[in-house]
Structure 1
Amino acid sequence: MSVIKTTGLTKLYGGNPAVSDLNLEVEDGEVYGFLGPNGAGKSTTIDMLMNYTRPSTGTLTVLGRDAQQDGSEIHARTGILPDQFGVYSTLTGREHVSYILDANDAIGDPEAILKRVGLADAVDQRAGGYSKGMEQRLGLAMAIAGEPELLILDEPFSGLDPYGVRLVREVVAAERDRGATVFFSSHVLDQVERVCDRVGLLSDGHLIAEGTPKELRDMAGVRTQLRIETNSNDPPIQVISELADVEDVFYDSGRVVVTCPRTVCYRVLETLDGAGVNIQSFDIEQGTIEDAFVELASDS
């Protein structure tokens, strides 16, 4: 079932398109990363999905319901972390989460939810004393409160330190594992492929490419290379080239360069070691979603 579906979705501001002819389908139970630079149209798309703003043209459904006519039902079944989330300074973390549970007539333990996002020591602290990162984690706690069917996260990594970024990834994975669908936007492209099942790349309001992280890297011609320094004058290049998933291999001035998925790199090293090749050092230059985005945006 398509949890999110848009057809020809377009939003104009002053005659200029913020989102243009967007055709998008997000399936039940997947983590979908909606990626692009600031100003690409990601937040505008989310605003239309949640009926905060109306499209100029096109149609959209969320959880099988019309986003404009059934907004209240959609909101009750959806957890959202909006961009530029703000807190009520006089309310505690517990009170913020309790409010969401009550509003959606949902069951949950505010203390346990806040613990999941790293706020166990600030449950009864007034949110006016929270740091930016703590506010962002509180917004995530409010989004997951009540175990919503759909989780929409707009720039969830904003304002977070490395620990907070990892925590968001862990929460997203846990929500997917319990059966929720997760749709999140981000311009922090390198974090996304660690957790997403599929990715859509948005540029200037247009969806320029869509697929798994691997499919997008392949589409853009972005590859991972293993570079091995050795003092061997005759490494077994032919043997390496015959390994499954090795795309290319060559030897030049004491360096063996292998183009292959990262998961194959250990097998290449093991093969060289087994052949008696002295490996002095190696490094892996991995093509990223960001590399793919740059290539595909340039092509488009």
Structure 2
Amino acid sequence: MSAIETAGLTKRYDGTPAVSDLDLTVHTGEVYGFLGPNGAGKSTTIDMLMDYTRPSAGQATIFGQDVRDDASAIHARTGILPDRFGVYGSLTGREHLDYILDANDATGDPETILGRVGLSDAIDQRAGGYSKGMQQRLGLAMAIAGDPDLLILDEPFSGLDPYGVRLVRDVVAAERDRGATVFFSSHVLDQVERICDRVGLLADGELVAEGTPAELRATAGVESRLHVDTDVDDTALTAVRNVDGVTYVTRTDAGVEIACGAESRYHALNTLADAGAPIRTFNVDTGTIEDAFVAMADAQREATRGRDDA
């Protein structure tokens, strides 16, 4: 059984689609990154999954239960950190956790849970005095309280310093290891690639592509680049351009940049050396999920303009 399943899920506001015909499957036990820029429709999708807003068309299920008909049962199995999370300023961190555990009829130790998100020293402070990052970590603690089967995190990196960002990654990994399904939206694409099993790219309310980060890079034609610190002349440039698998070569301030697949890298390096270009250092840029997203989003917008112009 899938953790999340949608079919033709659509939401329109005044006739304008925020989410269009979304077919999505999130497998039980995986970390699924739902990616896209602000305004792409990520939060609207989450609102429909949680029955905070009703779809204009289509349907969705969580653990086989209809998100509208079985909302209460779904909420009992789901921990959520919403994008616009707010604290109760007069309550302490401990009291927030006591409240959520009681509301969900769940067991758990507030001190242990808050310790996981780095708030042990602030457990009995009133949350109104928390910084934005501390409030975000409190929201994460409330989401994981009670060991939910599904964790939905909407922009979980918002307002966090590098320590907090790493902490979120560690919590997500621990929840997956526990057996939970994690579904989170983000526009911070470089962080997503480190922890996701699969990702879906959303652009203008439509699912542009889906797969592992490596699959999406390949689908989008994102090439790896070999950056070589060397002294290169025209003879060496010509030689490396003729290597099978090399798609382009260009000079840089440090030496040369070569676009090629993994199978061609060492042949390219050996060719440079044989042509008299000393290899001082080199590194490989494999391309990121952000590169894939930009390529696919641009293609989607071009396709949309083409339909509009037809």
Calculate the TM-score normalised by the size of structure 1: 0.88
By how many angstroms is 1:288 displaced? 1.2
1:191-270 correspondence runs (5 A)? 191-230=191-230, 247-248=245-246, 255=256, 257=258, 259-260=260-261
* Residues 13-32 of structure 1 aligned to structure 2 (within 5 Å): 13-32=13-32
Q: Structure 1 residues 232, 37: CA separation in 2 closer, same or farther (over 3 Å shift)?
A: closer
Q: What secondary structure, in the 3-state scheme, does the structure 2 residue paired with 1:2 have?
A: coil
Matched to 1:85, the amino acid is F
1:128-176 residue CA offsets vs partner (Å, 9 max, x unmatched): 0000000000000000001100000000011111111111111111100
- Taking the aligned partners of 1:288 and 1:165, their CA distance within structure 2 comes to 18
Structure-to-structure mapping, 1:36-185, within 5 angstroms: 36-185=36-185
Structure 2 CA distance for aligned equivalents of residues 283 and 164 of structure 1:
29
Report if the CA contact (8 A) 2:87-2:127 is conserved.
Answer: yes
Cα distance, 1:219 vs structure 2: 0.8
Q: Which runs of 5+ in 2 are unaligned?
A: 301-310
Counterpart position of 1:297: 297
The aligned counterpart of 2:306 is: none
Structure 1 SS opposite 2:159: coil
In 2: Cα distance, 1:214 partner to 1:80 partner: 28
Q: How many residues align?
A: 291
- Flag the 1:60–1:226 CA change in 2: closer, same or farther, 3 A: same
Contact 1:230/1:256 (CA < 8 Å) preserved in 2? no
Q: Post-superposition shift, 1:226? A: 2.0
For residues 47 and 221 of structure 1, the distance between their equivalents in structure 2, rounded to whole angstroms, comes to 33
Return the alpha-carbon distance in structure 1 between the equivalents of residues 187 and 248 of structure 2: 35
Q: CA deviation at 1:287?
A: 1.3
2: CA distance between counterparts of 1:251 and 1:103? 61
- Cα separation, 1, equivalents of 2:100 and 2:207: 33
Decide whether aligned partners of structure 1 residues 252 and 131 sit closer, same or farther in structure 2, where only a CA change above 3 A counts.
closer
Unaligned runs of at least 5 residues, structure 1: none
Q: Distance in 1 between matches of 2:122 and 2:267?
A: 48
Change (3 A) 1:58 1:228: same
Distance in 2 (CA, whole Å) between partners of 1:259 and 1:152 is 38
